[in-house]
A and B are shown apart, each in its own frame.
Chain A
């Protein structure tokens, strides 16, 4: 069995008009067995910068902790909030340091630039290769299903409410075809002046 599918997860992030959204399932399992349905996979790194970590559960927690440590030091030294693109490079660096014994996570970053409020999404592979597309990013055991859903539902310049519907439907229907992801979902909509967090009523199977 693949290490990346040992615990199971599904994460997706999308760009909208002056906003971004990031969503994840809530399952923590050990192969086929579901152990808990409230496992955190999206972490708030800064007021308008969120990090989603799919993959091996232990590395999800370790990477988020170690990254927060580095980010805290950055913020103290620079005396300002980090830009999303810079944070992407920070994540890439942390992962590549472990090039030949990697962390089994494939991070997704979603946020707004602290000064210009420009939307930003990106994803990285487990050894830190960054990819910054114009539309959406997906990761986890349901990534193939998510690609299908997002490709069909996403349009450019969606308002926050539209974006919420789009990302929710993409996630919910993708995980319904994955035995290792689901059991609840959490969605964050990040706008210039506020972040709305919603838990979705999902199939618990």
Chain B
């Protein structure tokens, strides 16, 4: 067993000896464990995420920004491998920018979502990326598209994702109402993410929100002590 390990090249040899005694953080990939969410409303979308990046159990970044701009009025929420999602978002942003210059008009959210899907589906065996693509365009207004692990694409009135989302399926199903205003959507997102961060070890830090409409992108941050508090027992 030990002799076999010596012949492996570079990184894997380091991994096999460095992992003795459970020092996960030396070798583990950066993961955005995460709770992410996006909600459509009449004039646009509200998106939100926590701010924790972990390497194993170590919190590598506690103020991460997981809401990444893809174009002026199109954002994505990233969950899964930090490296994979950053790389995919960069590629999509490049292609979308090029496409928008060619067409001479702002791109459709559906186009951005499809670009994400192409990459995530065709490279599904090599990627761990769960992405929610949301934004506003002239044709359809506010839209939310979810692209989970295997690379499927589906539009939803609201979407939750990341490891923390499993704890709030019941809450969001009970609390969601059609025809919410921007403020109601912001509150719904903040409450949901706070609950998820409370239960999920891989989610935490601050809640980052963004409201995307025709006119602007408003970004908010809710700090730890300002978060809504629930049952703590």
Contacts and interface: CB of A to CB of B under 8 A. Distances in A.
B142 interface: no
Residue with the greatest number of chain B CB neighbours at <10 A, chosen from A4, A176, A179, A204? A179
Interface string B198-214: 11111111000000000
A33 B233 contact: no
B205 A204 contact: no
A180 B229 contact: no
Interface residues of B, number: 25
Interface string A32-58: 111011100000000000000000000
Given A5-B22, A176-B59, A179-B54, A32 B198 contact: no
A76 B198 CA distance: 45
Interface in A173-205: 176-180, 183-184, 203-205
B220 interface: no
Contacts of A5: 22, 57
Given A178-B57, A179-B52, A179-B54, A184 B200 contact: no
B233 A36 contact: yes
A73 B204 CA distance: 46
The interface size bin for chain A is: 20 to 34
B197 A205 contact: yes
Contacts, number: 63
Nearest to A202: B224
A2 B57 CA distance: 11
Nearest to A32: B201
A27 to B, nearest CB: 8
A178 B200 contact: no
A179 B232 contact: no
- Secondary structure dominating the interface of A: loop
Given A141-B57, A179-B59, A37 B232 contact: yes
B62 A176 contact: yes
Given A177-B62, A179-B52, A205 B224 contact: yes
B202 A179 contact: yes
A33 B199 contact: yes
Contact of B198 (A2, A4, A179, A204): A204
A33 B59 CA distance: 16
Interface in B1-59: 22, 24, 33, 50, 52, 54, 57-59
Residue with the greatest number of chain A CB neighbours at <10 A, chosen from B33, B198, B199? B199
Residue with the greatest number of chain A CB neighbours at <10 A, chosen from B33, B58, B163, B198? B58
A8 interface: yes
A155 interface: no
Contacts of B232: 37, 183-184, 204
A29 interface: yes
Contact of B22 (A2, A36, A177): A2
Contacts of B24: 2
A38 B167 CA distance: 19
Contacts of B54: 179
A204 B229 contact: yes
B233 A179 contact: no
B233 A203 contact: no
20 contacts: A4-B22, A5-B22, A5-B57, A8-B201, A31-B201, A32-B163, A32-B200, A32-B201, A32-B202, A33-B200, A37-B232, A37-B233, A176-B62, A178-B57, A179-B201, A179-B202, A179-B204, A204-B198, A205-B52, A205-B224
Interface of A: 2, 4-5, 8, 29, 31-34, 36-38, 141, 176-180, 183-184, 203-205
Interface of B: 22, 24, 33, 50, 52, 54, 57-59, 62, 163, 167, 197-205, 224, 229, 232-233
